[in-house]
Structure 1
Amino acid sequence: MKKSWATFEDKVRDIANLIWGRYPTPENVGGVAIDAVLHLDPQLSVLIEITEERQLGKVREDVTKLVTAQNALYAKRVIARSYCVIDAETVTESMKEAGRAANIKVLTIFEFSKLFFDFSSYKVGRLNAPFGSAINPITGEKDDTEYVPVRYRVDGSGADIGTAEIAELLKKGQHIILLGEYGSGKSRCIREAFRYMADRADADFNHPISIDLREMWGLKRGVELLNRHLADLGLDKLSGSAVRAFNAGSVTLLLDGFDELGSQAWNNDPARLRAIRAQALQGVKDIIQRSQSGVLIAGREHYFPSNDEMFQALGVRQSACTIIRSKKEFTDEELQEFFDQRGIDVEIPSWLPRRPLICQTINELPEEDREKMFDVSASETAFWDHFMRVLCVRDARINVAFDPDAIYGVLKRLGRITRTKPSNVGPITLSDLQRAFEDIVGQAPGEEASVMLQRLPSLGRLGTETDDRQFTDTYILDGLRAKDVGEIALTSLELLKDVLSTSWTNGLDSLGQMILASDARCSDKKLIDLAHQAAVSNNKTLASDAIATLLSRKADPLDFGKLNLSAGHFIFIDFSRRDIMNLTLTECTFANIIFDNRPTKNVMISSSLAEKVTGATSVKGLPPWVSLTADKYESADNTASIRRIGLKPAQQMLATTIRKTFFQKGAGRKEEALTRGFARLGAPGLATKVINMLIAEGLVEKVKGQEGALYIPVRKHTGRMKQLLAELTTSNDPLWLAVSDLK
């Protein structure tokens, strides 16, 4: 926690107390008044003169006083260690020379504090090492690209916060949990917070220590985390002083990757999973609970199924903790700055994924490839296809022996291999790379092929200390898995034995389902047949993927043919898009499940678990054919969730407009901010119709602002708007019904 002192003398005495474990007091020694004296034992004392004056003459006076006191103690056979501490950033060589003859150290306050903990050495060592996953995906070295300042969402307040504000909260002793998906910038946030605090550490007497938890497997005590972290940096000699600094409350902890300490292997017993996670985090919990200062700890958003378990496993009190979340995508302004910093002059198309790692990959492409890619004006699935083809063709140019289709095939097979990995994106070992190559090409890789495998596009290194790889973004990985399932669905049952006998743990997310659903070769019948085969096999996740993909198609009503899946695992499933019948899901798990009031026939979900339910605000809002326990219910608290519900364009515009005007911070919204993104949702003029209906109903007022029109909510209707957002597809509000008919 940041310290403050009434006087400079108090600060020096406080630091001396931390160094020697007892508080110094002024004392008359040998007839002279010494500012701070500690008697460590009968034969050893510490003498300190403290001055805010920075003249050589004053230093010489203090040295003379210390020499007199030293001689008086020496006459009593007591050895004195003497220091003259100056309130300055530097001391001159003449000042140091004034004390050197009498073995008196003339120090700045910063040099004096290093006797307690040599933070400057730690700072250099830490900044020279990578921060978590903030590494160059090609080399595995630390990522030195310029930081694009981004904002993080604060739970429960609707506010955004930057790294400097995060650092200031940490200085005040706040505990902060940073949640976000892979590649969303958590490690970058920790690195920038560290830099901010490190530059002010001496003045604040608050020392940030940033630990990558992926290196801390098996440790049960907080001290063990500190010691291993310093040893990994080659700073073993600082271990003792770092522990003392931590125990004294002058260390702020930055802990990256709580999700990388435990296996993600699936288990149907929630209690067993909780126990596994808690055991893996024993050392983290110990160091957090022992900390007397601020703590920032980061990890994947969905690692814990509930906040209660997260607080318990990490040892954090909910009432004393702030949760912040990384945004999954850059804003338009942040994305533009990202490209501007790198000299990329493009008009950013609406379909371009704003995910940081996708943007980094695009940045590394040759200019001609970027131009072709940005000329593609198509759907998200078409862009994904084009993006992957460009990456594979680019890599094949390196050597005429490399084939783009073979590269693509190896990547798809690696996507299948990651289905069984403890982490969603890897790790991928060298033997995994070789096996994927042999499966696709039919022979072991030669020397040139081995080089290709080491630098496959979309794969990155875990770090400099290992040859293992991982996918750099789930956007790419999800699509590769979808393409792989499409090929599996077209394969004969005899050739499917290996796939059906393997238990997958990592399923398709919404993008993968969208890509698979767009594959014209994979008819409803083929996917239903695949779901039936997988449902009675060991591969329940494959059955889940097929079912969720079928539901994502906006098509004719679908008969699943009395399909019964038990113990399925769904990352994302949407029941709002298609009429279905004859499907039973029992003891399944859902990361995110979406409902509306669409009719079903002979459909049942029973004895199941969900992390998040969208489309219902509580268990009472679930359809009558659903019996499940959920950690979180969500209606439309942000634009992303509105988009996922699958509303009509006009409905989505209405829900987004209500949220931005009534429930976001601020008195009103500029027209450009209010309608941002609407152009790609529906026909021209549709947004104007929706907004005009709000104005006609007296719900929103349009006024003239300094920079154009402003839209102001009429606050007396806040309750009605809150209810409309909570109900959405089940709403009978006249405004909702009228907007639903707009084309």
Structure 2
Amino acid sequence: MSSMTGPQFEDEVRRIARARWSSAAFDGAAIVDGRERDGIFVTDEMVHAIECTVLRTKAKAEEDCKKLAKLVKSLRSQYATRGVKGWFVTADEPTADQREAARPFNPDVQACSFQQFCAPLVDYREYFSLRSKYRFGSASDPQTGSIDLSHEPYVAVDLFDINNSQRNSFFDLAQSMRNSATRTLLLGDFGAGKSMTLREIFTSASKGYEKREFARFPIHLNLREHQGQTSVQESLERHARSIGFPNPSQLVRAWRGGFADILLDGFDEIASSGWAGFNKKLKDIRYSNVALIRNFVRETPFNSSILIAGRRHYFDSMSELRASLGTGLQFKETAIAEFTAEQAAEFLSRRRLSGKIPDWLPSRPLLLSYLMSWNVLQDDLVQLAEAPGWDYLLHRICEREAQLDIGLDGSTIRELIERLATIARTTGDGLGPFTRDDLAQAFTQVCEYAPQLGSDIALLRLPGIGNPSADDGTRSFIDQDLADTARAGDVARFIIDPFDGSNSQVLTVQGGLGDIGAAVAALVLKDMDIRSGSLRTALEKVRTSALAENGCLGPDIFKVAQLMGTALDGQPVHISSAYCDEIQLSNDDPDMSSVLFRDCVIQSLTIESETSDKNIPTFKNCLIGFLQGRASAKDLPSDRFDGCAIEEYSAWASTTSGFMHLDVPPGLRVLLSILKKLFLQAGSGRQSSSLFRGIDQRARHYVPQVLQLLAFEGLANELNIAGKSIWVPIRKESSRARSILASPNTSTDVLVIKCKVLV
């Protein structure tokens, strides 16, 4: 408080006095006996006279206390039936000299600090004690589920302004709330650390207030606990009762007086008072859900800070978010960034772990914590397999969502996400969009009843699903790897029971399973001891179903069988009229000689070196866009390829690991790896992080340089989707990319020449 000028401090003391003695709300400074007094407040029982100062000198204290004692005596004669008390209020803790100056006039004059003067508004020590023992949003120990996080070290996350991408720190936000009245939106995807950040801000602010470094104390609300509420007063009173605070009215009074900062966690977690069977527009539902937040924004005094946190993709657009929350231009809009490499290392070291985090794992605190609780993060973290890791993470993420108390358990939420992943596979890029009707359909199929009260929250905040570009109420998956993990669910269920009509939608899918999805499905089926007979039955069901024509389910099952190591030999197995992004055949595959691909479209077929012709499937009347591993039709076994049209051949094929062992300059090795991932693997784009995978540590520093060259040469573009860097191939340059891959040693392409000389 010492940073205030004298007049500013007087105004602040009068503001608090009006909050303490509400019946004297219109009182304030006055002229008595010809002298200006800082404040006189008359209530039904007492008269309070105030002198306040920002100075710490003994002389000033003696002057004010004498003046105040004389005023108390004068007021007693004027208000004979009421008590009169004088308050000598100092900006900081009174010095020994200041207390000594007031002592001769005790009990008429009470010397106190500004914090002591404010204390009767609310018993902040008891509030802090009770609040710190209660849950902070979704923050909990990932291993035990305990809400006691006193032992959990916090690593400060970086924040960035979503309007200009300027990077800030957690400390900047905490400091701005301390020094001035700020209004902030804190946005982030699931697991980014929103609740932990708000908990840390609350803890920091409460300690600062107790040390008299902060003029306002924090009030933290879990919005999930205020379903259907619109009144700020009622929400504060419910919050007080929830934590066991005995004087709810104190919180209301402190808030109205501008003596408290408000932290609101989880705007995406408030359910509407009614679902109305999706008859209402989702936009209207969201607007109705957050009425309480609009009232907080509208009614909170402007000299208090407000911090509102929630999932970035809950709303269709930032304009809808601003209109629904009532934030407008006065709010600073920030988002939580993923951990940097240094922050991730600090996160692990504080938990006595070391090593490198797997490239496939998004660097979010929640996901790292989950893997720690699984006891899989050892010294060599990079060895953690991608498919079991994502399978476990999706399980834990869904269990966490179930804690919202919406009547759905974790396994149901996972199946709901998996069904939406199947619906998304009927779209162009396999990520969506899907409409509100799709959401309702998926919910009804999985739960066997229509969405009801509370279900809107489950559907509108599902992890990994948002609105990266649409402003029309549709949703899409925003995390490619999570989407691929979820795609495995319906495929595995179909293989287990292909005659279950509730899962028939998977027959219509158009985009194939990725490597992660196929591996997750293989894990699930191996755990259930599913064998060759079940796979054969599932493939036969696909062959005879009209729904599956031109679909991808047959090739999906083939890919899963490969990863399971389950041979499909013996009686012929037909995959007919299917579309397939990619088939890879290697010498490590089980015997697939009984499989016949008939009349299929296969974008890319790879036959790795040393693959035995006798174990590979037969291809009849298929259209194959690109065949790697054979130079021409003469290189193909005639009994395995019959009547096929093959547009392009490459004489050799390699994995990323193979590229890394080629006897070419390292920059060129990196180029070949990236071209393969962008142009030959399934999918419409690759996250920047995935382009580092499989490249040894010594060559990784070439990746950014190669990407710049790809963009300059017009082979790829970088997009920013949902805050993530995505590299998308320019498909018209496919022949150029494949030409480089086919003959890297002899190519005269300018891109090859530039990559050879990178240092």
| Both structures adopt the same fold (TM-score exceeding 0.5) | yes
Counterpart of 2:147 in structure 1 is 141
Counterpart of 2:654 in structure 1 is none
Counterpart of 1:315 in structure 2 is 326
Separation in structure 2 between the aligned mates of residue 2 and residue 57 of structure 1, nearest angstrom: 18
Counterpart of 2:31 in structure 1 is 27
Separation in structure 2 between the aligned mates of residue 489 and residue 52 of structure 1, nearest angstrom: 75
The one-letter amino acid of 1:419's match is E
Separation in structure 1 between the aligned mates of residue 484 and residue 368 of structure 2, nearest angstrom: 17
Counterpart of 1:680 in structure 2 is 693
Does structure 1 residue 380 correspond to structure 2 residue 390?
Answer: no
Counterpart of 1:296 in structure 2 is 307
Separation in structure 2 between the aligned mates of residue 17 and residue 150 of structure 1, nearest angstrom: 39
Separation in structure 1 between the aligned mates of residue 558 and residue 72 of structure 2, nearest angstrom: 85
Separation in structure 1 between the aligned mates of residue 718 and residue 382 of structure 2, nearest angstrom: 39
Residues 184 and 307, structure 2, Cα contact 8 Å, conserved in 1? yes
Residues 289 and 315, structure 1, Cα contact 8 Å, conserved in 2? yes
Q: Quick check: 20-29 or 726-735, which moved more?
A: 726-735
The one-letter amino acid of 2:202's match is F
Counterpart of 1:185 in structure 2 is 193
Deviation for aligned residue 1:387: 9.4
1:353–1:181: structure 2 CA closer, same or farther, 3 Å change rule? Answer: closer
Over residues 507-538 of structure 1, what are the superposed CA-to-partner deviations in whole Å (9 max), with x where a residue is unaligned? x99897354466697979948957998989xx
Deviation for aligned residue 1:111: 0.7
Counterpart of 1:89 in structure 2 is 93
Aligned-partner SS, 2:16:
helix
Aligned-partner SS, 1:114:
helix
Aligned residues: 537
Residues 158 and 339, structure 2, Cα contact 8 Å, conserved in 1? no
Separation in structure 1 between the aligned mates of residue 135 and residue 291 of structure 2, nearest angstrom: 24
Which of 96, 119, 128 pairs up with 1:114?
A: 119
The one-letter amino acid of 1:278's match is Y
Aligned-partner SS, 2:309:
strand
Separation in structure 2 between the aligned mates of residue 336 and residue 527 of structure 1, nearest angstrom: 46
Residues 47 and 85, structure 2, Cα contact 8 Å, conserved in 1? yes
Aligned-partner SS, 1:85:
strand
Separation in structure 1 between the aligned mates of residue 672 and residue 273 of structure 2, nearest angstrom: 36
Residues 351 and 380, structure 1, Cα contact 8 Å, conserved in 2? yes
Counterpart of 1:224 in structure 2 is 234
Does structure 1 residue 279 correspond to structure 2 residue 273?
Answer: no
Counterpart of 2:659 in structure 1 is none
Aligned-partner SS, 1:324:
strand
1:352–1:302: structure 2 CA closer, same or farther, 3 Å change rule? Answer: closer
Counterpart of 1:448 in structure 2 is none
Separation in structure 1 between the aligned mates of residue 180 and residue 692 of structure 2, nearest angstrom: 44
Residues 415 and 481, structure 1, Cα contact 8 Å, conserved in 2? no
Deviation for aligned residue 1:118: 4.7
Residues 177 and 296, structure 1, Cα contact 8 Å, conserved in 2? yes
The one-letter amino acid of 2:251's match is A
Aligned-partner SS, 1:344:
coil
Over residues 680-737 of structure 1, what are the superposed CA-to-partner deviations in whole Å (9 max), with x where a residue is unaligned? 255899878777778999969xxxxxxxxxxxxxxxx9xx9999x9994346689996
Separation in structure 1 between the aligned mates of residue 244 and residue 543 of structure 2, nearest angstrom: 53
1:685–1:95: structure 2 CA closer, same or farther, 3 Å change rule? Answer: closer
Deviation for aligned residue 1:221: 1.7
Which of 359, 380, 389 pairs up with 2:368?
A: 359
Deviation for aligned residue 1:260: 1.4
Deviation for aligned residue 1:380: 1.3
Counterpart of 1:658 in structure 2 is none
Deviation for aligned residue 1:47: 0.8
Separation in structure 1 between the aligned mates of residue 184 and residue 356 of structure 2, nearest angstrom: 37
Separation in structure 1 between the aligned mates of residue 546 and residue 76 of structure 2, nearest angstrom: 87
> % of aligned pairs identical?
22
Deviation for aligned residue 1:258: 1.4
Counterpart of 1:513 in structure 2 is 517
Separation in structure 2 between the aligned mates of residue 214 and residue 132 of structure 1, nearest angstrom: 8
Deviation for aligned residue 1:86: 2.2
Separation in structure 2 between the aligned mates of residue 157 and residue 297 of structure 1, nearest angstrom: 20
Separation in structure 2 between the aligned mates of residue 36 and residue 695 of structure 1, nearest angstrom: 67
The one-letter amino acid of 1:343's match is R
Aligned-partner SS, 2:332:
strand
Deviation for aligned residue 1:236: 4.3
Separation in structure 2 between the aligned mates of residue 532 and residue 5 of structure 1, nearest angstrom: 84
**Residue ranges of structure 1 left out of the alignment (5+ in a row):** 390-412, 425-473, 503-507, 537-543, 562-576, 581-598, 602-646, 656-674, 701-716
Pairing 1:252-267 to 2, within 5 Å after superposition: 252-262=261-271
The one-letter amino acid of 2:69's match is V
**Residue ranges of structure 2 left out of the alignment (5+ in a row):** 396-408, 421-478, 507-511, 526-531, 564-573, 580-600, 605-622, 626-670, 680-687, 745-759
TM-score where L is the length of structure 2: 0.56
Residues 339 and 363, structure 2, Cα contact 8 Å, conserved in 1? yes
Aligned-partner SS, 1:83:
strand
Separation in structure 1 between the aligned mates of residue 391 and residue 734 of structure 2, nearest angstrom: 42
Pairing 1:170-569 to 2, within 5 Å after superposition: 170=177, 172-201=180-209, 203-239=213-249, 241-262=250-271, 271-291=280-300, 292=302, 293-317=304-328, 319-327=329-337, 329-351=338-360, 354-364=363-373, 370-371=377-378, 374=380, 377=383, 379-381=385-387, 383=389, 415-416=411-412, 418-419=414-415, 485-493=490-498, 496=500, 513=517, 515-516=519-520, 526=538, 559=577
1:485–1:88: structure 2 CA closer, same or farther, 3 Å change rule? Answer: same
Over residues 181-212 of structure 1, what are the superposed CA-to-partner deviations in whole Å (9 max), with x where a residue is unaligned? 33220101112222343444555533432111
Does structure 1 residue 48 correspond to structure 2 residue 82?
Answer: no
Separation in structure 1 between the aligned mates of residue 294 and residue 522 of structure 2, nearest angstrom: 45
Separation in structure 2 between the aligned mates of residue 547 and residue 45 of structure 1, nearest angstrom: 86
Separation in structure 1 between the aligned mates of residue 543 and residue 215 of structure 2, nearest angstrom: 61
1:337–1:115: structure 2 CA closer, same or farther, 3 Å change rule? Answer: same
Counterpart of 1:650 in structure 2 is 674
Greater Cα radius of gyration, structure 1 or 2: 2
Separation in structure 2 between the aligned mates of residue 273 and residue 531 of structure 1, nearest angstrom: 39
Counterpart of 2:165 in structure 1 is 158
Over residues 137-156 of structure 1, what are the superposed CA-to-partner deviations in whole Å (9 max), with x where a residue is unaligned? 41432322110111123213
RMSD: 5.8
Residues 178 and 299, structure 1, Cα contact 8 Å, conserved in 2? yes
1:85–1:511: structure 2 CA closer, same or farther, 3 Å change rule? Answer: farther
The one-letter amino acid of 1:344's match is L
Aligned-partner SS, 2:42:
strand
Residues 183 and 306, structure 2, Cα contact 8 Å, conserved in 1? yes
Deviation for aligned residue 1:179: 2.4
The one-letter amino acid of 2:13's match is V
Separation in structure 2 between the aligned mates of residue 266 and residue 421 of structure 1, nearest angstrom: 20
The one-letter amino acid of 1:159's match is Q
TM-score where L is the length of structure 1: 0.57
Separation in structure 2 between the aligned mates of residue 106 and residue 158 of structure 1, nearest angstrom: 49
Which of 158, 167, 177 pairs up with 2:174?
A: 167
The one-letter amino acid of 1:321's match is F
Residues 155 and 323, structure 1, Cα contact 8 Å, conserved in 2? yes
1:653–1:386: structure 2 CA closer, same or farther, 3 Å change rule? Answer: closer
Residues 5 and 54, structure 2, Cα contact 8 Å, conserved in 1? no
Separation in structure 1 between the aligned mates of residue 361 and residue 491 of structure 2, nearest angstrom: 24
Deviation for aligned residue 1:51: 3.7
Separation in structure 1 between the aligned mates of residue 546 and residue 52 of structure 2, nearest angstrom: 77
Separation in structure 2 between the aligned mates of residue 739 and residue 103 of structure 1, nearest angstrom: 95
